[in-house]
Amino acid sequence: MTTLSPTVPLHDGRAIPQLGLGVWQIPSDQTEAVVRTALDVGYRAVDTATLYRNEEGVGRAVRAAPVPREALFVTTKLWQDRHRDAERAFDESLRRLGLDYVDLYLIHWPAPGQNRYVDAWKALVRIQESGRARSVGVSNFDRDHLERIIDATGAVPVVNQVELHPRFQQRALRAFHAERGIATESWSPLGQGEVLRDATIVEVARKHGRTPAQVVIRWHLDQGLVAIPKSVHAARLRENFDVFDFRLDDDDLRRIEALDRRDGRMGLNPATFG
């Protein structure tokens, strides 16, 4: 029997696998094979985006999957050059994926300089109403961006996908998500591999007889976060999914909590990007 990831409930009544595969930077011609390997390992969720230019490969793997479409969870995202034109951009994503629906459609970045994300959010709500995206959410939204779209529409995103790893734990934003029933999804959950060399992570891994990647992924799961680590290697895909038979203890959690850094962000800042 394949072990599957637990799921996290979404406030619209649906649920997302807690551990999925991220495919950013996977070249289009490799993506189908990587996703197929991941599905064999037991992954059921794939996170892509128009920006990644590999929706076609994801779609091919999903359409050929040995499990029914309903057992899979496909996320894609709207790039900010189409905030004015989100419904058409969404249709183009669906066409590239070759699917009738996606499970989750996200606004990739708020791009506050353009100031069009409220209109984009209204379009995503319509897309959800049409059934072509089962759930809709956002990515890289700070609290003020979230408050603005919720105030404007009354519609609360099910997910906010943000940079989150032991060096950048986003505690204030997570507390706000919890108040509003928004699930937190961690991008760059392994800190792009950097966090795996941290001495504390290495020590905790040694203590459990696990790898640093497994400890960091377990940390996300133990925090109730959704995580989408990326790898193209079959052995690492297996390693990163082999995390459902151990837990971190209170001492481990305290030590990892202390790794949070004010300047721990590795990616772009949503307040200023776009």
Write out the residues near ligand NAD by the rule CB under 6 A. Answer: 22-24, 47, 108, 139-140, 161, 187-193, 196, 213, 228-231, 236, 239-240, 267
Report, in Å, the least distance between residue 51 CB and ligand NAD: 8
Closest CA to 73 of 185, 189, 221: 185
**Helix intervals (H) in 25-135:** 28-41, 55-63, 86-97, 117-129
Distance (Å, rounded) from C-alpha 78 to C-alpha 76? 7
- Least distance to ligand NAD, CB of residue 108, Å: 6
Q: Are residues 123 and 87 in contact, defined by beta-carbon separation less than 8 angstroms?
A: yes
Which residue lies nearer to ligand NAD by CB, 32 or 239?
Answer: 239
Clarify whether 52 is annotated catalytic. Answer: yes
Of 52, 101, 105, 117, the catalytic one is: 52
CB-closest chain residue to ligand NAD: 22
Spatial separation of the C-alpha atoms in residues 160 and 152, rounded to whole Å: 17
Task: Give the helix/strand (H/E) hosting 148.
Answer: helix 143-153
Question: Based on CB atoms, which residue is closest to ligand NAD, 20 or 134?
Answer: 20
Beta carbons within 10 angstroms of residue 205's beta carbon: 19
Q: Apex CA 184: angle with CA 36 and CA 175, to 5°?
A: 165
User: What three-state secondary structure class fits 143?
Assistant: helix
Shortest approach of ligand NAD to residue 86 CB, angstroms?
A: 16
**Between 207 and 251, whose beta carbon lies closer to ligand NAD?**
207
129 versus 268: smaller Cβ distance to ligand NAD: 268
Nearer to ligand NAD, 129 or 246 (CB): 246
**What is the nearest approach in angstroms of ligand NAD to the Cβ of residue 23?**
5
Contacts of 206 (CB under 8 A, 6+ apart): none
For residues 41 and 237, give the distance between their C-alpha atoms in angstroms, rounded to a whole number.
7
Q: How far is the CB of 237 from ligand NAD (least distance, A)?
A: 8
- As annotated, the active-site residues are 52
